[in-house]
Amino acid sequence: MLLAAACGSSAATQTAQPSLTTVRRAFVARLKQDALTYRWVACVRNGRRYKGLAIVRCNVNFGMDPHVEAYCTVFDHGKLVTNHENKAIPCAHDDAGFTVPTADGS
């Protein structure tokens, strides 16, 4: 699974931040590629960075009770990377998006 958030520092060159729509689309495509079933995905900027790259946290409702999993994501050289793939991407708790309403985005 995926998860994303927290701070980090590095001399990496900063690139333009992808839009939340771009991040969400890439993340949903990854979930589908991995044949994961979900109810909704909500992605928010949390203001954190990893190696100069903006971190976007995507919360995924996998259903059941509900089961919401957080993924911290970055776009590295045009490729979506999550903290589940790269454990160095920090993903601590934050309240980013706490007031943002969620909607089914399947």
Is 58 inside a domain boundary? yes
Exposure of 99 in the CB half-sphere (CA atoms within 13 A): 0
- For range 59-83, the mean pLDDT: 90
Specify the higher pLDDT residue, 74 or 6.
74
Residues 6 or more apart whose CB falls under 8 angstroms from that of 101 comprise: none
> Of the given ranges (35-39, 46-50, 61-65, 70-74), which has the lowest mean pLDDT?
61-65
Is 45 inside a domain boundary? yes
Is 100 inside a domain boundary? no
Query: What pLDDT score does 34 carry?
Result: 94
Query: What pLDDT score does 65 carry?
Result: 80
Is 98 inside a domain boundary? no
| pLDDT over 90 percentage in the chain | 58
Domain membership of residue 52 as a residue range: 1-93
Is 106 inside a domain boundary? no
Is 88 inside a domain boundary? yes
- Does pTM top 0.85 for this prediction? no
For 1-46, write each residue's pLDDT tens digit: 443 333 343 444 455 788 999 999 999 999 999 999 999 999 999 8
